[in-house]
Amino acid sequence: MNAELLKLRLLALPRWTAIAVLGGVVVTGAMLDVFPRDDGAAFIGVMGTVTSLLTEIAAIVLGAWAATLEFNSGALQRTLTAQADRSRVLLAKLGVLVLAVAALAIAAAAAAGGLVDVVTRQQGIDLDRGELARTLFANVPAAITVTVVAFGLGLLTRSIGGAITVALTFVLVLPGLLVFLPAVNRLVYATFEGDMTSRLAGDVAPGVEVHSLPVAVLGVVVWAVVLLVPGWLRFLRDDLK
């Protein structure tokens, strides 16, 4: 666990990923100040969309990076020499990854909420701060689950680029391709994740058919496990060099 924390602190990709997310939130806040919306709900909508997209992409990048770091650097043999129990290696990686992504998502949501609050106060626009908090912090569970998905895909592909590409396609592209197959589209990961976030944010429009919160959470967890287990088993069984 300490070794994984050290990698997270010292290596460049996690640091620059966090800077990119927080920087994107700050830029969005500045743009909302320069180009204001008509009401508080519009401010929340813009900032919520940007923050969700930034944290989701960052979570995918970090999940793929954490799974493939030793494969790409050639340090896997040293890692397994220091800790021969491969499951403990993966549990340490996944535990640190989940904590790091959760912290980043919470920090991004807090920064986004603070910026929207400041901008709307300056412009004299009424703002429902409860709705603002629900919208922004509802993205945190989605960031955690999608980073587990990317981690599993990283273990399976053993390529950071491959894992990121597959994860982005699976989460962001596939639902668009299945839009004309609603029965199938309801069962894909992105639908469960979107419904979970909407339920947590309290942003379900009347008459719109979405999964209940327990079903959405169950669907997200099942998909995360399904995409994690094959790579995990491959890591345990293969002759790793």
What is the pTM assigned to this prediction?
Answer: 0.92
Cβ 70 vs Cβ 219: under 8 Å: no
Question: What would the mean pLDDT of 107-125 be, rounded to a whole number?
Answer: 93
Number of DSSP helices (H) and strands (E) in the chain, helices first = 12, 0
Residue 240: band (very low, low, confident or very high) from pLDDT cuts 50, 70, 90 = low
Residues with Cβ < 8 Å from 143, sequence gap 6 or more?
55, 56, 58, 59, 101, 102, 104, 105
36-81, pLDDT tens digit by residue? 788 888 899 999 999 999 999 999 999 999 999 877 666 666 766 6
Measured from the Cβ of residue 136, the count of other Cβ atoms closer than 10 Å reads 26
Pull the structure tokens for residue 137.
């912090």
Segment 149-201, tens digit of pLDDT: 999 999 999 899 999 999 999 888 888 788 788 888 888 999 999 999 999 99
- Predicted confidence at residue 36, as pLDDT, reads 79
pLDDT digits (tens, 9 = 90+) for 15-41: 999 999 999 999 999 999 888 788 888
